[in-house]
Amino acid sequence: MPVVRIGAHVRAAGGIVLALERGDEIGAEAIQVFTQSPRMWKPSQYSDEVLASYRAAQTAHPRVTATYCHATYLINLASSDPALYEKSSDCLLANLAVARGMGSSGLVLHVGSHKGSGLADALPQITDALERALEEAPTVEGEAPCPILLENAAGAGGTVGRSFEELGKIIDATGGRGDLGVCLDTQHLWASGVAFATVEDANDTIAALDDAVGISRLGCLHLNDSKVEFGANKDRHENIGDGTIGEGGLAALLGHPALESLVAILEVPGTGDGPRDVDVAAARRALDAGRALRAA
């Protein structure tokens, strides 16, 4: 029976192929990397040869079976500032081009914030930027085009994607493109007041996602515990088992049959340098507990 694969966000410093080994060292079955510095506009430049080398190394790797990319945090497709919006649109295109060059299974994106003006006003420009990137980013012959995965937000301020309905509206506004999907972050769900710590709540959450977006569009999970309480509307990740969700609180969701074969990517702090082998082990315990809970 296929099960969730546990992945981890790792550094790509020193050469992107090294990211595969960093994932392997901690026992991850998939990795996530930034396509450029998360807090700088300047895109990373990779030659076609470097990208081809990465794809070959990924295909041949015995443990790490998938790569996901994360777009820079500076992107704000909902901004009312024309200059910021144009920079964001250009940056998204550059990030997707790298992700596709790497053979990535998805580019995770924080859509941005409308600063209180409402999603309706920002929706046309959001969809324009998404469609531009998806149409203009080059593809690699023989590789499936990397989709953009819209990440749910923790619910602070005017952030876009604070509900499944908002994510669904964005996808619908593009005509329901097949190369748009979603990434669910457990900490963001928890912080935005979406319950999933019991089997009943997890079932309701997955049903709500299916109704608003479609479960087939769920491209990956971000598996994180939370430093803040349920409904706090703050994006604060914690190591699995050390936060307010806990291993047991993640189990019911991880064990849901609709999530079989997905990748669950750790974005936890570790001791300051990101996920460790003990964090991967904690994630696997939560997954095993979820499967046992569902089998009982």
Residues with Cβ within 8 Å of residue 64, at least 6 apart in sequence: 20, 23, 24, 28, 29, 30, 31, 58
For the chain (length 296 residues), average pLDDT per consecutive 10?
A: 85 94 98 92 92 96 96 96 97 97 97 90 97 97 93 91 96 97 98 97 98 98 98 97 97 95 97 97 97 89
Dihedral sign of CA atoms 18, 22, 24, 28 in order = negative
The SS3 call for residue 67 is: strand
pTM (2 decimals)?
A: 0.97
pLDDT of residue 1: 47
Q: Which domain holds residue 289?
A: 5-295
Residue/partner pairs of 199-206 with CB below 8 Å, 24 or more apart? 199/252, 199/293, 199/294, 201/252, 202/252, 202/253, 202/255, 202/256, 203/256, 205/253, 206/253, 206/256, 206/258, 206/259
Rounded Cα distance between 234 and 202, Å, is: 21
Rounded Cα distance between 239 and 280, Å, is: 10
Residues with Cβ within 8 Å of residue 267, at least 6 apart in sequence: 9, 32, 185, 222, 223, 224, 237, 274, 275
> Could you report the per-residue pLDDT of 27-72, keeping only the tens digit for each?
999 999 999 988 889 988 899 999 999 999 999 999 999 999 999 9
Instruction: Work out how many domains the chain is built from and give that number.
Output: 1
CATH number of the domain bearing residue 218: 3.20.20.150
pLDDT of residue 2: 57
